[in-house]
Amino acid sequence: MSNSTGAAVRFEKVQKSYDGEIMVVKDLNLDVAPGEFLTMLGPSGSGKSTCLMMLAGFEPATNGEIYLNDKAINSVPPNKRGIGMVFQNYALFPHMSVAENLAFPLKVRGISGADIDKKVKRALEMVELGAFGNRRPAQLSGGQQQRVAVARALVFEPDLILMDEPLGALDKQLREQMQYEIKHIHENLGVTVVYVTHDQTEALTMSDRVAVFEDGIIQQLSPPDELYESPQNSFVAQFIGENNKLSGKVTAINGKVCEVLLDDGTSVKSEAVNVSAIGDRTTISLRPERVEVEPEVSMDNMLSGKISEILYLGDHLRIVMEVAGNKEFIAKVRNRGELRPLKKDQTITVGWAAGDCKALDPVA
């Protein structure tokens, strides 16, 4: 028994292997606070879904222990864990009506018929599907099915809800709308949510904290803004948002700032995040919107770039250019209504502050 930590969910040294050769999850330690919306974000095969399946009880952990409200649950079967779950393809039972689907977890628990009706009605109203109780899932649109699936996971009032890429099958507009709805339901009910997705926008807009998975390891566990502003390694920087990469060698470290000699001979000042010693290889990460085109004041870094493409996107211009040997260096220029005399093949000056670029671990 571990000491009382107050965590709703706790992974302790959890490891998972399917074939005895490859570790899908390597040494996972994670606490989820009660009422928290935690997202496991990562590319497919990064181990995030496996973690969710272990938490739900459908996959046994090869090593380590998972705690639910400070109780070890490794030997508890999934139906005794009391966790609500929303599946990727909703898994609504096709041979039951919407109301019967919602009543299912209540019937299992032996709740009386009148109470079931009341709870089902309330849950359906919560997702604004009050008039749809008698329909079959196949008669609903994708978005409606998704709401039924959420309602079904919530109807028996679990403390913890797991969501496995629940919005993956919806189109973009509906997905955005559902993001808000799920977020509001979470805020109103105060349940703990563990959410799995490979969509970074979903992760950033909905979560209290995001755990970025790659290679069976949590690469970074931070609130969304921190994840975007201060990535701790190159994988996170590249996975979250857009990102310009500049490779070079560390030549000096002064506290939080370091000097990097880029491969084409240019020297750049950067915030030192993931470098330890002079002479280390590093990859600098810089967000395209932090790049100033033709800066009017002097900046920490001033480089020249040759424009190869200009894309007009309405709210901003996207300029692709070659800077310090990187042919896909991107700058996003906000549309302020002023005309910009920029043309293809033109050479311009770009600048950015040292604090806006992060010297991280090197990538090839």
Partner 1 sequence: MSDSTSPILTADGTPLKAKLAQTTRRLRIKALLLTLPLVIFIIITFVLPIGQMLYRSVHNPTGIMVTPNFAEAIQEWDGEGLPDDRFVEIFVKDLALAKKNREIGKTVGNLATRVNYEIPGSRSLITSTARKAKNIKEGPYLDALIKINKKWENPAMWLTLQRASKEYTASFYLAALDRKYDDKGDIVMADELYQIYIPILMKTLWLSAVITLLCFILAYPVSYLLSTLPMKTSNLLMILVLLPFWTSLLVRTTAWIAMLQTEGIVNDFMVFLGVIGDDGRIQMIYNMTGTIIAMVHILLPFMILPLYSVMKTIPPSYMRAAKSMGASTTYAFTKVYFPQTIPGIAAGTLLVFILAIGYYITPALVGGNDGLLISNLIAGHIKSTLNWSLGAALGTILLAVVLVFYWVYNKLVGVDNLKFG
Start-end of H helices in the chain: 48-56, 98-108, 113-126, 142-154, 172-189, 200-206, 224-229, 234-239
**Does the footprint of partner 1 cover residue 105 (CB under 8 A)?**
yes
Tell me which stretch binds partner 1 (CB under 8 A): 78-86, 296-304, 342-350, 353-361. 78-86
Minimum Å gap between C-beta 104 and partner 1 is: 6
Nearer to partner 1, 90 or 352 (CB): 90
Strands across the sheet containing 192-197 = 84-86, 160-164, 192-197, 37-41, 209-214, 217-222
**Does the footprint of partner 1 cover residue 137 (CB under 8 A)?**
no
**Does the footprint of partner 1 cover residue 75 (CB under 8 A)?**
no
Minimum Å gap between C-beta 26 and partner 1 is: 25
CA angle (344, 347, 352) in 5-degree steps: 110
Query: What tokens does 173 get?
Result: 């507009």
Minimum Å gap between C-beta 8 and partner 1 is: 17
**Does the footprint of partner 1 cover residue 87 (CB under 8 A)?**
yes
d(CA 150, CA 163): 9
Contact pattern for partner 1 over residues 160 through 189, marking x by CB under 8 A: --x---------------------------
**Does the footprint of partner 1 cover residue 119 (CB under 8 A)?**
no
In this structure, the dihedral spanned by the alpha carbons of residues 153, 29, 226 and 37, taken in order and rounded to 10 degrees, is: 10
Nearer to partner 1, 56 or 191 (CB): 56
Minimum Å gap between C-beta 126 and partner 1 is: 17
Nearer to partner 1, 58 or 180 (CB): 58
Q: How many residues lie near partner 1 (CB under 8 A)?
A: 27
Residue with tokens 């809800």: 161
Minimum Å gap between C-beta 71 and partner 1 is: 17
**Does the footprint of partner 1 cover residue 84 (CB under 8 A)?**
yes
**Does the footprint of partner 1 cover residue 142 (CB under 8 A)?**
no
The DSSP result for 36-68, as a single string, is: -EEEEE--TTSSHHHHHHHHHTSS--SEEEEEE
Query: What tokens does 17 get?
Result: 């292997």
d(CA 198, CA 148): 22
Is 268 strand, coil or helix?
strand
**Does the footprint of partner 1 cover residue 72 (CB under 8 A)?**
no
Query: In this structure, what DSSP letter does residue 97 have?
Result: -
Query: What tokens does 230 get?
Result: 């201060």
Is 76 strand, coil or helix?
coil
Minimum Å gap between C-beta 191 and partner 1 is: 15
**Does the footprint of partner 1 cover residue 64 (CB under 8 A)?**
no
d(CA 129, CA 133): 7
Tell me which stretch binds partner 1 (CB under 8 A): 104-112, 226-234, 276-284, 355-363. 104-112
Tell me which stretch binds partner 1 (CB under 8 A): 90-98, 124-132, 210-218, 244-252. 90-98
**Does the footprint of partner 1 cover residue 156 (CB under 8 A)?**
yes
d(CA 308, CA 12): 50
**Does the footprint of partner 1 cover residue 327 (CB under 8 A)?**
no
- Name the site residues for partner 1 (rule: CB under 8 A): 56-58, 77-85, 87-89, 91, 93-95, 104-105, 108-109, 152-153, 156, 162
